[in-house]
Copies of this chain bind each other. A is one copy, B any other.
Amino acid sequence: MNQIKHRETTKKIKVGSLEIGGGAPISVQSMTKTDTANIDATVKQINDLAKAGCHIIRCAIPNKEAALAIKEIKKQINIPLVADIHFNHEYAVLAAESGADKLRINPGNIGEADKIRAVVEAAKTRGIPIRVGVNSGSLETKIRKKYMGHITADGLVQSALNNVKILEDFGFNDIVISIKATSVPLLIKAHQLIAKKTHYPLHVGLTESGIPKIGTIRSSAGIGAILAQGIGDTIRVSLTGDPLEEVRVGYEILKALQLTFHGVTVIACPTCGRTDIDVVSIATEIEEQTRHIKQPLTVAIMGCEVNGPGEAADADVGLAGGMGVGLIFREGQVVRKVPEAEMVEALLDEIESMAIK
């Protein structure tokens, strides 16, 4: 039953001081939405993201100014920076020289061998990895044609592995692979397929997932399904909007799958005709007032006598309320009985004291 997970078999790659693959903790990535050449704005956004827990940041490098800006940006941030380059090998070389911790470029898009060699040499000299991959929106015409114009999992995997092969042929194997798609089933299938064919670590993300309300659901289902199958070494939730939201959702996916342990998880009953305490406002208040706690704790807010006591006792701290009175549980034992007005305070007391412990 306990199969070896793909992520435990992948090659360990270093991005700055961070490890990706080989069973390393799954890292959460995001991408700046600023003009990279605007150093102040970019640094501010990166530091905000880092504070929210972002492990690796990627910046678009669409021109020389952006490539050069990396040097100054790197001085003012504390997480590894990935330079995202399309087509232009000179920007890639410049980004590496400016101190990028990883390049994201497809050698298949660069052109002549000399240009590819220049990028590989720059990466080797600096000891930085290259992420190659494919996006369903930019799959090569040649591969599309092979599948009658359709974007298939086979086609995506082939495209990604073609890029890997080019780097390997240049003697380079400090590689992370990504396959991005807008279709969740296609994304899942492509990951199942590539996991059988490679031991390079995989960067998992649904691309163009949409505005946060919908993109959160699509990303959680897609990335969640892949991670649950033991596949995926680093993730990026890509949302249209504030990148802080990407980091927050990424963490929640990892927390849900118990692939990271970080902060308070509030579980709460959905409330039903049996409920007679205000579960929604209690749960919301507890969630808001415990965000500063880094220690992993589970708090259960339950509104009835059916599943209430069981769930409350299983959590680190729990409340089983009913008829205006609540039993407060701590590590499975009832420690207090309080009226509804004191429930939030009593829960916070117990949570805070456990967090300090």
A residues sitting closer than 8 Å to B (CB atoms) are: 31-36, 59-62, 66, 84, 86, 135-139, 151, 182-185, 188, 207-211, 213-218, 220-225, 227-229, 238-241, 243, 246, 249, 252-253, 256-258, 265-275, 279-280, 283-284, 287, 300-302, 306-311, 314
A220 — which chain B residues lie within 8 A by C-beta? 216-218, 220-221, 224
**How close is A74's CB to chain B, nearest CB, in angstroms?**
16
Given contacts A60-B272, A225-B228, 12 further A-B contacts (CB under 8 A): A60-B273, A84-B272, A136-B310, A137-B302, A137-B308, A183-B258, A184-B224, A185-B228, A209-B267, A210-B265, A215-B268, A225-B257
Cα–Cα distance between A210 and B265 once the two chains are bound (Å):
9
Cα–Cα distance between A185 and B216 once the two chains are bound (Å):
19
B184 touches A280 (CB 8 A): no
B267 touches A300 (CB 8 A): no
10 smallest A-B Cβ distances: which pairs?
A: A221-B224, A60-B273, A220-B220, A137-B311, A137-B310, A137-B307, A225-B228, A238-B270, A240-B268, A217-B252
B210 touches A273 (CB 8 A): no
In the complex with contacts A138-B307, A221-B257, A224-B222, A240-B210 CB distance below 8 A = no
Can you identify 18 A-B contacts, CB atoms within 8 angstroms?
A33-B270, A62-B273, A62-B274, A136-B314, A137-B307, A137-B308, A182-B311, A208-B267, A208-B300, A209-B267, A210-B265, A210-B287, A216-B220, A217-B256, A218-B252, A221-B253, A240-B269, A246-B270
A210 — which chain B residues lie within 8 A by C-beta? 265-268, 283, 287
Total identical chains: 2
> Interface SS of chain A: helix, strand, loop or mixed?
mixed
In the complex with contacts A210-B266, A214-B266, A256-B218, A310-B138 CB distance below 8 A = yes
In the complex with contacts A224-B220, A272-B31, A139-B310 CB distance below 8 A = yes
A314 — which chain B residues lie within 8 A by C-beta? 136-137, 151, 182
A268 — which chain B residues lie within 8 A by C-beta? 208-211, 215, 240
A62 — which chain B residues lie within 8 A by C-beta? 273-274
**How close is A66's CB to chain B, nearest CB, in angstroms?**
7
In the complex with contacts A270-B246, A311-B182, A214-B252 CB distance below 8 A = yes
Point out which of A224, A227, A243, A265 has the most chain B C-beta atoms below 10 A from its C-beta: A224
Chain B residue at minimum C-beta to C-beta distance from A34:
B273
**How close is A165's CB to chain B, nearest CB, in angstroms?**
22
A274 — which chain B residues lie within 8 A by C-beta? 60, 62
A266 — which chain B residues lie within 8 A by C-beta? 210-211, 214
A136 — which chain B residues lie within 8 A by C-beta? 310-311, 314
A223 — which chain B residues lie within 8 A by C-beta? 221
**How close is A246's CB to chain B, nearest CB, in angstroms?**
7
Point out which of A220, A265, A308 has the most chain B C-beta atoms below 10 A from its C-beta: A220
**How close is A230's CB to chain B, nearest CB, in angstroms?**
11
A302 — which chain B residues lie within 8 A by C-beta? 137, 208
Cα–Cα distance between A268 and B306 once the two chains are bound (Å):
43
Cα–Cα distance between A183 and B261 once the two chains are bound (Å):
13
